[in-house]
Amino acid sequence: MDIINLPLTMRTVFKKNNKRIFLDYAAATPISDTALAAYNEALKYFANPQALHSEGLEAARVRDEARSKIAKVLGVKSQEIVFTSGGTEANNLALAGYLRALEGKRIDMKDCHVVISTIEHPSVSDVFEPFVTRGLSVTKVQPNKHGEVKPEAIEAALQENTVLISLALVNSEIGTVQPIHAIAKQLKGRKPTIGAKNLEKIIFHTDACQGLYQSLVPQGLGADLMSFDSGKMYGPRGIGALYIRKGVTIAPVLRGGSQEGGLRPGTEPVALCAGFAAAFKESSEMRESEAQRLGEVRENLLEELQANIQDIVLNGSGKKQSPHILNISIPEIDAEYVAMYLDQRGLALSTKSACLERADASESHVVKSLGGESWRAKNTLRLSFGRDTDGRDVSRIAGKVKEAVDTYGGFN
C-alpha cells in the first residue's frame, strides 16, 4: 500500500496500525485535507495566469484569491505578498534582493554592515557570502545559554552603517522564540549613514518558516520582510511567500520574466498557491488550540525523558519556546546511531536541521553556540510535533529513546 497517496485521515490510521510515530514536523508537515482539497480543485485552472485569454484570466483570479487570503491572515495588502518556491528562496529574495537593490542605487557593499545571529538557518547565513567578497561586513551575534538573542546584544552590534538585520522568529533546531518585537522597537528612528547618504531605516527581516504557533502579523512584530514556507504549515511542498512592506525596495534574484511584480520570474503554480493559502488560513485558525495541546505534549515528554535518562540536557530552555520543538543532548551516545535505531523501531526524528542532516557536519552549529559542555553539539536529538502527535504516545516515545540510549551504552 502506498501511504503517500492516502488522504491525511487514512494516513493517520495507517501509521497507528503500523505503530510508527512521526516526530520530525519541523522538517516537513503532511498536506492537510483542507489544503489538499484546495490544491486539487485548483488543478483545473491549468492555464498560464499571465495569458490574456479567458482560461488565463481564470487562473490569475485563483492565484490572486490565494494571495489575498494569505494577506488577510497577516493583516497586510495583497501587493505586499510575493510567492516563491519555499522558505529558502523567500530568505534569499529578501536578503540578497535588498542588498542588490542597494547596489542598484550605487551603494558600495564596502560601506554596508549587516547583523544576524550565530544560530540562523543556512538559507540566511549563507546568502551573504558573495556580498562579503564584495566588501560587506557581517556581525554574528551570540545567543545566551538559553538560545535567546537579546535586544541588548543586537543593540551592541549595531553600527552607523548597519543596513539590515535578519533573525528567525523561531529557531528551527531548538525552538527558541526570539524577541522580534522588542528588537524592532529599538530600531525605530534609526537611519543608517552610508557615506554621504542617509537611508530611511534599518530593514528588519525575520525568517518565520517555523512560526506556525506564533502571531505572524508583520505590523505587530515590526518586521519589514517576512519569509514563509508552505511545507512547514500543512500546505503543499514547493511554494512559499515573502512579505515585503510597502516602501521597501527589493531587486530580483532570478531573471527571465515579469511575474510577481517583476521579483520572481516563472509561471506561477496556481494550484500550489491555492493549497498554500488554504493551509495558511487553517493553521491560523488552529494556532492557539494546537499550541496549547502540543505544549502539554512537549512538557510531559521532557519530564519523562529527564526522569529516565541520566544527565540529559535541554537545548533551548528560555522563557518562550515553540511548543512543537524539543531538542535534547544526551552524554556518551552517537546521535545518528540512536536516530537510526529509533527509526527501525517506529520513531522518526532527526539530530539537527534536516537541511544539514546529510551534510558533512558532525555537530549542531546552533547547540554549539549555546556554550556548555563540548559533547552537547554532537549528541543532539530533535523531536518535533504536529497534528498527528498523540499525547498518549508520550510514555512509548520516552521508553523507546531510553531503550536506544541504553542499547548504545551496552556496545561501549
Tell me the catalytic residues. Answer: 355
The answer to whether 187 and 194 are in contact (CB under 8 A) is no
Query: Which one, of 294, 270, 280, 269, lies nearest residue 243 by Cα?
Result: 280
How many other C-beta atoms are found inside a 10 Å radius of the C-beta of residue 288?
11
The answer to whether 247 and 200 are in contact (CB under 8 A) is yes
Residues 6 or more apart whose Cβ sits within 8 Å of residue 122: 353, 355, 356
3-state helix, strand, coil in the chain (%, to 5): 45, 15, 40
DSSP 91-115: HHHHHHHHHHHHHHTT--GGG-EEE
Query: Residue 88: in which H helix or E strand, if any?
Result: helix 87-104
Residues 6 or more apart whose Cβ sits within 8 Å of residue 246: 77, 79, 80
Q: How far is CA 13 from each of CA 20, 53, 201, rounded to the nearest angstrom?
A: 10, 45, 52
The answer to whether 84 and 266 are in contact (CB under 8 A) is no
What letter would DSSP give residue 164? Answer: E
The answer to whether 113 and 161 are in contact (CB under 8 A) is yes
Query: Which one, of 243, 249, 209, 193, lies nearest residue 223 by Cα?
Result: 243
Please measure the distance between the N-terminal and C-terminal CA atoms of the chain and give it in whole angstroms: 39
What's the grid cell of residue 386? 504536529
Q: What is the 3-state secondary structure (H, E, C) of 258-315?
A: CCHHHCCCCCCCHHHHHHHHHHHHHHHHHHHHHHHHHHHHHHHHHHHHHHHCCCCEEC
Residues 6 or more apart whose Cβ sits within 8 Å of residue 16: none
For 78, phi then psi, to 5°, come to -55, -35
Helix (H, G, I), strand (E, B) or coil at 316: coil
- How many Cα atoms occupy the beta-carbon half-sphere of 196 within 13 Å? 1
